[in-house]
Structure 1
Amino acid sequence: MPQRQSLTIVIAAFNEEASLPEMHRRLGDVLDSLEAQASVLYVDDGSRDGTWGVLQALAAEDGRVQLLRLARNFGKELALTAGLDHVDTDAALVLDADGQDPPELIPAFVAKWREGYDVVYGTRTRRDGESWLKRFTAAAFYRVMSRLSPTPIPADTGDFRLMSRPVLDALRQLRERQRFMKGLFTWVGYRQVSLPYERAPRLAGGSKFNYWRLWNLALEGITSFSTVPLRLATYVGVLTALVAFAWGLWIVARTVLWGDPVQGWPSLMTVMLFLGGVQLVALGIIGEYLGRLYLEVKQRPLYLVAEARLPPAL
């Protein structure tokens, strides 16, 4: 298919100087045998170690390497956005810099793409090198998202995927500031297919996503693709009001019919704390959505590029 010949591998890197040389060696071996015009676009997401120096050395040795350096650490979601915004080939494939997603599977992704699929996403059948807690929380997150969101986000699927030119053009139209890329990749639609694989341990170093950052990413996903929490807060408020109204009628009736001595302190405090807790939870949920709306209306740039080494525009 003539419109499915060129491919850019997009890799966002943050403090990955230890894993990048081996990662690029493996990637280079794959691209040497790949029947496609392939290049690699590395995005340095404001690394504080020697990542940029390593990337410059790779670019000097390999003419297929292109570089973007962001002005600071904007986070993986925006670093991926920057990379995909600068892709001018027939397709892009997103790959992690830590080697957990094997570059040796790229030919299989390309084969599916040339069968006519616009999105080929890798589905993890195993997650080696990760703790049981991380595997459990990841599985729970995808199951919760499938219940809350009308956008069908595939379970056990990360950013490892190939996207055709029409999908990339569609993603460029989505300029929201609070980004959950896994959801955006699915939301645009087009023909999508899964490619199962086993995820390997990291080549070097540790994950940049601790549990706090993963929790915040989960909040981004839920609030970006579902209003169920807001609706749930409404339902809880209505139910609590009905129960409180019924309880109030019971107290009035009991006082009129039998009289009612003053009740004890524990029961009064229990009711007050329960109602106060429900109100604070509801306000917290509203605050999450309001905070995201506040960030959107400021219309700041998604990212800032400090340095770029890209081929000249055609």
Structure 2
Amino acid sequence: MVQDKTIPSRLFDALNYTLLAVVGIVTLLPFVHVIAGSFTTSAEMAMKKFILIPTVFSLDAYRYIFSTSKIFVAMATSVGVATLGTAFSMLLTSLLGYALARRDLDGRRVLMFLVVFTMLFNGGLIPTFLVVREVGLIDTYAALVVPLAINAFNLIILKNFFQNIPEGLEESAKIDGCNDFGILFRIVLPLSLPAIATISLFYAVTYWNTYLPAILYINDAGKWPIQVLLRQIVILASGFEGDPSLDSEVPPPDQAVKMAVIVVATLPILLVYPFLQKHFAKGALLGSVKG
């Protein structure tokens, strides 16, 4: 039988709920402000520094953003890069993570040291650009994927998750005649869905937010992802010289456009997250406990 909570316990719970509610509201308010600001007019944005409910509802900012057909091309580019890039990264990360999770792998410690080393040191911006140029990836979509294909942090999380799978399952599969690839794709990966969902979300967010690689490696404006194009739209709406092809008859509402750009850039990932939320915490936790 559950005993009634004592008064100090109830006060502690009330304090916790109050504190969490305040933190939740403080966290939510900036999002509400950004969304409300994207649906208001420039005049109201100029008069009010903080808006939660727009007095005059306006779609001018979104009308301005979507007044160029390039926005749809850039959106398709970002969706394609995020989808194919995530699949490619998960394939490579799973293969390498499974290999490093095998305790009988020769040179396992050396390979693991090299992986961790890349988290602390890297070649730098210019050497990386020179490598990408020399292999012929400039002005190709592959330049947005290949340099980011394997993230060391994601690899370590997935490797640790694979190590939590009982070795008896792999031994039973080998007795049944299954090879290493069969064990990985038929047993290990289906049992690792929480980690797969978590790492996939990490990679998807990385590819969706691709900005600097696109600035460095993509010279053709027709191949820009959504983040770079939205930057150009903000520059043009702010009165600075931007891409001439983005000129529109719709007057640019400066501050509202900036708010709308944030919404457009963030909304797709926010729509994906709820489908992976149930796996997210479990995958990140289990993959970080055992080394």
TM-score by length of 1: 0.22
Q: Greater relative contact order: 1 or 2 (C-alpha under 8 angstroms, separation 6 or more)?
A: 2
| The structure with more strand, counted as a fraction of residues | 1
TM-score by length of 2: 0.23
| The structure with more helix, counted as a fraction of residues | 2
